[in-house]
Amino acid sequence: MWDEVELSIVVCVFDEEDNIKPLLQQIRRAMKGYAYEVIAVDDGSTDRTLQELRSIIDDDLRVVELRRNYGQSLALSAGIDQAKGRYIVTMDGDLQNDPSDIPAMLSLSKEEDWDLVAGMRKDRKDNVLLRTIPSKVANFIIRRSSGVSIKDYGCTLKLFRTEIAKNLGLYGELHRFIPVLAHLEGASITQMEVKHHERTHGESKYGMGRTFRVMSDLLLMLFFKRYLQKPMHLFGSWGVLIFIAGVIINLYMLWLKIQGNDIWGKPLMLVGILFVLTGIQLVTFGIFVELQMRTYYESQGKKPYRIRKIYGEHQAKVVR
């Protein structure tokens, strides 16, 4: 089936009733001459977004209705799971991404054999205080911490080879870290400048609060990058180090006791006992996480989202 569809374009929408029809028109103009499909994922919209989508369903559009609002990461995951193309494009449904950039991204991926082409928004049309500055700060921290040098982690417009996209493991709010997740899968990554437009309808669903969520998710990503396949190296190493420090302290206290000193209740003795117990706990926790990691890789988990209904049946189509 994948041989019939070159591009799957995944669009996540949440309360975008005024934007969805113009966006689909832009996509159809930009994709003229390509065998493509559009998968619009309605992430629990409370307005008429779903009705607007259903009214324009045709051979190149499928609509995935989620049972509730799961957030952008799981909505993207639901769309990617449904995709049948050899390449997958992700983009927002607010008309700020421009579909006319997709052909250039596809050409770059094919000509230079990139697994992921990440969009880099040129001349951003967002509120400087609430969105641009927090985004730049977050991008800088993620780049320095993860070692993946992408300038614009917040741009949803990306093009993937399907085998990379379907193995990203998007959970929680990890869509901001897609380049890092792709890097963990061994993907070759590049970036290119893309157009960015002002939002003309509706309101942004994001603000300053997301910066703090990015920071907390970053800790998880650093664990993924360095220790996901070897958690014992993190917990076990620290556990052994602290345990040895505790043993040395306690041996010193024992020597003092043999010398006739009163050591009961001394802070150093309590520190030694605490270090020994903490070291044992960390090593034990490392073993537990190691077992959990093996279960993660060897078992088949359930999807973290629930689909209510899928509208539209795809037939590969070249628009002329």
The token pair that represents 282 in the structure block: 């960390």
Task: Identify residue 58 by its one-letter amino acid code.
Answer: D
What residues are paired with 61 via a beta bridge?
38
Domain 2-227+302-311 in CATH 3.90.550.10: yes
* For range 163-184, the mean pLDDT: 85
**What is the distance of C-alpha 141 from the center of its chain?**
16
* For range 225-243, the mean pLDDT: 76
Which of residues 185 and 209 earns the better pLDDT score? 185
CA–CA distance, 93 with 104 (Å, rounded to integer): 20
Q: Which residue has the tokens 């040129």?
A: 122
Asked if residues 275 and 245 have their Cβ atoms less than 8 Å apart, the reply is yes
- Predicted confidence band at 317 (pLDDT cuts at 50, 70, 90)? very low
Euclidean distance between the first and the last CA atom of the chain, given in angstroms as a whole number: 21
pLDDT of the residue at 304: 72
140 CB neighbour count, 10 Å cutoff: 12
Which of residues 155 and 233 earns the better pLDDT score? 155
pLDDT of the residue at 131: 60
pLDDT of the residue at 211: 56
Asked if residues 314 and 267 have their Cβ atoms less than 8 Å apart, the reply is no
- Predicted confidence band at 130 (pLDDT cuts at 50, 70, 90)? low
Nearest CA to 28 out of 103, 79, 106, 99 is that of 99
Torsions phi, psi for 70 (to 5 deg): -100, -15
Asked if residues 224 and 169 have their Cβ atoms less than 8 Å apart, the reply is no
The pLDDT tens digits of the residues spanning 274-312 come to 999 998 888 888 777 766 765 665 565 667 788 999 998
Tell me: pLDDT of 203 over 90: no
Q: 3-class DSSP state for residue 194?
A: strand
Tell me: pLDDT of 179 over 50: yes
Tell me: pLDDT of 54 over 90: yes
- Predicted confidence band at 103 (pLDDT cuts at 50, 70, 90)? very high
The token pair that represents 125 in the structure block: 């049309």
pLDDT of the residue at 109: 96
Half-sphere exposure of 293 (CA within 13 A, CB side): 15
Asked if residues 118 and 189 have their Cβ atoms less than 8 Å apart, the reply is yes
Q: 3-class DSSP state for residue 206?
A: coil
Whole-model pTM?
0.74
Tell me: pLDDT of 2 over 50: no
pLDDT of the residue at 206: 47
* For range 190-202, the mean pLDDT: 84
DSSP per position, 10-49: EEEESS-TTTHHHHHHHHHHHTTTSBEEEEEEE-S-SSSH
Q: What is the mean pLDDT of the chain?
A: 83
pLDDT of the residue at 316: 41
Q: 3-class DSSP state for residue 296?
A: helix
